[in-house]
Structure 1
Amino acid sequence: MTSEKTEGSNVPETSLLIIIIDTNPYQRFIQEKPKLLIHCLDSVITFANSHLMQKAQNKLVVLGCHQQRSAYLYPAPGRSLDVRQVDGQYEVFTLVERTIKHRLGELIRTSDDSQETPMGESLLAGTISMALCYIARMKRQATPGLKMNSRILVITGSNDTAAQYINYMNVFFTAQKQQVLIDVCSLDKHLSLLQQGCDITGGLYLKVPTLDGLLQYLLWVFLPEGPVRKKLVLPPAGRVDYRAACFCHRELITVGFVCSVCLSVFCKFSPICTTCHTVFKIAGALPIKPKKKKLKV
């Protein structure tokens, strides 16, 4: 494997980008204007090809996150598609575009034919976990001495749900340990939990003001790698909402009760922890010490 060397160093370096596309049909912008999904998909494909165009050693993986399951969109598992090259277009770019669109169509068709509940949530936490497993496998198979800059870009218009709070925290701290950046591009609403993941891993969080300029935001903010971002003036992170989600109602809370054994968070006091079943002793009221009487002289 050949790779480019960093400036002033003899260490070979490559970059691995994993893009997670949320294809849940119940996203608000898709329900209002279904054609926006095609526009967003074309912008993501152009962004992915721009990443490959930067260096010949760059690697790309695209994952589709649906309401019921996740799947690899590129590279396609098994035999690759027999794609005929388009005149004037680099054959790798043609392969990326055709493979992503073909695999995405299969993902949507198989999910719609399923008998599961249609109003499911996007499995973003599970898809990020798949990406981390792929990165760990690539690092094990890499050439000794090769430096791999790995990062994950999540593009979603869904709401982050507190029901996946534990799964989110697990993947965030796993990515931090593996030194993997997690970037988030929100297409609709502010996502507090995913913003926490960006802050924990050192990634970037951006809520796109308008979908018409999605490609410009992707190229301007998320195309540079982690070491290069330190030299650029990027949008500020802003204030991060670090509220935790209670384990009983899965809602974000400001003040709550924490189990001293398993650190589970609850919005109301319970004598028994529902997670580890620890029984707490309820102490009585603290005795009030009598005030000392002043001595009369």
Structure 2
Amino acid sequence: MKQPNERSLTVIVMDVSPVTWGERELIRTASDKSRLAAGKRSIGPARLEECLSAVQCFCSAASSLEKDAVTVLVAVAASEVAVVYPRKDALEDYFRNPENKLDSRNLQSNLLSGVAELMAKASAKQQQASTTDPSNPPPPLTSNLAAMASAFSTALCLINRFLVAANAGVSALHDHHSWNRGNRDDDGVIAALGGGTSGKKTSHKYRVWSPRVLLLQASDDRPSDYNAMMNCAFAAVKQQILVDACFILSPSERASKSSSYLEQTCDMTGGLLSTPSAASQADKALTEVLLTIFLPTRSSRHRLNQVAITNLDFRARSFDTGQIVDMAFVCNQCLSIFSQLPQGRCPTCDAEIRSKKSKIEP
């Protein structure tokens, strides 16, 4: 059950990268053509519109379950990140008046228009990069993958920004005296307390907030995002922000079958991870996944029989390639690890690399 005066603050991060979903659309179209001709149902994978529909249903269900819940939607397409609900012109008012009920029509309009604008911007940027001067090196293939670390960082910033606005300009994340840690059910509940309210009945405005982030990733992990992703995970752990994740699998043989970044992030923050197969995504099944796994609040989850994260891979990975390493070079400034000695400067912190060459005696 939900704690008294507890209100959920959820930031949903959606991967809408054009290349990723375009590839899935081709696979789905080819698969459905042969199966429907044989009178069989689709076996996925999910289309982008089905993913967006699942997110809308999740937001509506969260609002029905908890009328005071606050939901913010962040979309990421390749290297582009934007807040799609509420839109930029309404974001400040939304933070100041979070008690307004969720408008499903407004949510759908903002979500569809915001995602369309972001995908168009990402596609134009990728096309421009591919038609640049031939003398310049081509952009890496991983640039088409979603920059989930940037979107994750944006989500954490939005949570802090919201709590500052709800706490009369004082960061509830920074003030450790405003944390409520009475018992296990209060873990992850941050109290937005106002001054001068001691001994008085808590007003509607100054209820406690339980922030969480839901990451919906369809692209493979970006190797260059590992350092930033782990830093965001550590920040979430420090502030007791729950992080859930759903890695939407692709039937492509080249696609990854899981995300080690999401696995480690969810394990560190105490969140849930789901990796629905392609067949578990078709015919609006992705909606069922989001509702049955991620809808329950944090304070009620210990009463549910939920699947734990197993087979975690904590082996060290190179920060520039993402490959598993047994022996590596470590930067003495930022502690980044690399499979090969960086030349000149550290790719992570830009510190000068100074290697000591030992003299070989004859």
Using structure 1 for the length normalisation, give the TM-score: 0.80
Instruction: Calculate the aligned-residue CA RMSD, in Å.
Output: 2.8
Distance 2:258 2:104 in 1: 32
Specify whether residues 69 and 116 from structure 1 end up closer, same or farther in structure 2 by C-alpha distance, changes over 3 A only: farther
The residue correspondences of 1:194-233 to structure 2 (distance < 5 A) are 194-209=262-277, 210-212=280-282, 213-233=285-305
How many residues are treated as equivalent by the alignment? Answer: 269
Q: Is the 8 A contact 1:29 1:157 kept in 2?
A: no
Is residue 147 from structure 1 mapped to residue 212 from structure 2 by the alignment?
no
Q: What is aligned with 1:135?
A: 159
3-state SS in 2 of match to 1:244:
coil
User: Which ranges in structure 2 are unaligned for 5 or more consecutive residues?
Assistant: 30-45, 92-100, 131-140, 168-191, 194-206, 250-256
Q: Which has the larger radius of gyration?
A: 1
Specify whether residues 91 and 207 from structure 1 end up closer, same or farther in structure 2 by C-alpha distance, changes over 3 A only: closer
Per-residue deviation, 1:278? 4.9
Distance 1:195 1:16 in 2: 22
Deviates more, 1:263-272 or 1:70-79: 263-272
Is residue 258 from structure 1 mapped to residue 319 from structure 2 by the alignment?
no
Specify whether residues 281 and 272 from structure 1 end up closer, same or farther in structure 2 by C-alpha distance, changes over 3 A only: farther
- Among 221, 232, 240, which residue is 1:160 paired with? 221
Is residue 277 from structure 1 mapped to residue 355 from structure 2 by the alignment?
no
Q: What is aligned with 1:50?
A: 61
- Among 15, 33, 39, which residue is 1:22 paired with? 15
Distance 1:261 1:18 in 2: 33
- Among 70, 82, 85, which residue is 1:74 paired with? 85
Q: Is the 8 A contact 1:25 1:31 kept in 2?
A: no
Percent identity between the aligned chains?
Answer: 27
Per-residue deviation, 1:186? 0.8
Deviates more, 1:273-282 or 1:30-39: 273-282
Specify whether residues 104 and 278 from structure 1 end up closer, same or farther in structure 2 by C-alpha distance, changes over 3 A only: closer
Distance 1:68 1:159 in 2: 14
Distance 2:16 2:335 in 1: 34
Q: Is the 8 A contact 1:272 1:280 kept in 2?
A: no
Q: What is aligned with 2:122?
A: 111
Q: What is aligned with 2:27?
A: 32
Which structure is richer in relative contact order (CA contacts within 8 A, separation 6 or more)? 2
Using structure 2 for the length normalisation, give the TM-score: 0.67
Distance 2:117 2:354 in 1: 50
Greater share of residues in strand:
1
Is residue 61 from structure 1 mapped to residue 45 from structure 2 by the alignment?
no
